[in-house]
Amino acid sequence: MRFGLRAQLILPIVAVVMLSMGVAGFISTRNAADELWIELEGAARNLSTNVASSLTDFTATMKAITETQAEDRNLAAALAYGTPDDMARAVDILKRAQRMSPAIHAVNLLNASGDTLLSSDPRASGNFSDRAYF
C-alpha cells in the first residue's frame, strides 16, 4: 500500500509526539515522586523534633512537680496525721501540680500498695498496683 506524502510525514510526527509525551510523563512522575519523598522526609523530621521537644518539656515539668511535692511538708502531714485540714492542703498541692501542664489530667498520691490516698480529681479512686512501678 502506498502512502501519500501527508501520510509519510504525519506518521513520524505522531510517533515523535507520542514518544515525547511518554518521556515527559515519566520524567514528570519521577519528579513528583521525588518531591513527595522530600516533603515526607521533612514532615517526619519535623514530627520527630516536635515530639522530642514535647517529651523533654513534659519530663522537665514532671521532674519539677515531683521535686516540689517530695519537699512539701503538707503532703507529709496529710499522710502522717490525716486531719481534714492537712488533707485539704495536700489536695490543693495536687491541684496546683495538675495545673502545671495541660497534659496532666489528674495527680494522685498513692501508698506503697498502690491505693489512691489523695487526688486532684475527687472522682479518682482505686488501686494501681498492676502498674510496673509497683
The arithmetic mean of pLDDT across residues 108-113, rounded, is 87
Radius of gyration of the chain (CA): 34
Q: Comparing 8 with 55, which gets the higher pLDDT?
A: 55
pTM greater than 0.85: no
Selection from 4-13, 40-49, 65-74, 115-124 with the highest mean pLDDT: 40-49
Please give the average per-residue pLDDT across 114-124, as a whole number: 90
User: Could you tell me what percent of the chain has a pLDDT over 70?
Assistant: 94
The confidence band for 50, taking pLDDT boundaries of 50, 70 and 90, is very high
Q: Is residue 25 scored above 80 in pLDDT?
A: yes
Confidence of residue 77 (pLDDT cuts 50, 70, 90): confident
pLDDT mean across residues, the chain: 84
Torsion of CA 28, 34, 35, 40, to 10 degrees: 140
Among 132, 129, 102, residue whose Cα is nearest residue 115? 129
β-strands 108-110, 116-119 pairing? antiparallel
